[in-house]
Structure 1
Amino acid sequence: MVQIRGMHTLIRDRDISKHDFVFYSDRLIRLVVEHGLGHLPFTEKQVVTPTGSSSH
């Protein structure tokens, strides 16, 4: 939670470099999407690849 607050502070700083703004904005977006995807229902499936390997 502290990291998220820190990133919010950084991207709101008018003196932040463009590179840092993009970096921290992308990081925040990934965290939001990752958290949202964690709430989706799922079922385990066995997948067989074209090479014949299988995984869960």
Structure 2
Amino acid sequence: MLCTTINMVCATSITINSTNNILKNVVNNYDTIYLDDRVYNGSNNKNITISKNTTIID
């Protein structure tokens, strides 16, 4: 008898831009977040708790 286990790792990413610009809604749902050039301010873009390994690239 031969038993094999395959573990799949699925990394997800998103680009935050002028149409999708709320960090709070995506920060814990993606592994990598790419930020377009702009200023991120407002209540949905500050005081964010990151509860998983996340890479943010600007």
Q: TM-score range by the shorter chain?
A: under 0.3
Q: Which has the higher strand share?
A: 2
Q: Which has the larger radius of gyration?
A: 1
Q: What TM-score results when the alignment is normalised by the length of structure 1?
A: 0.25
Q: Which has the higher helix share?
A: 1
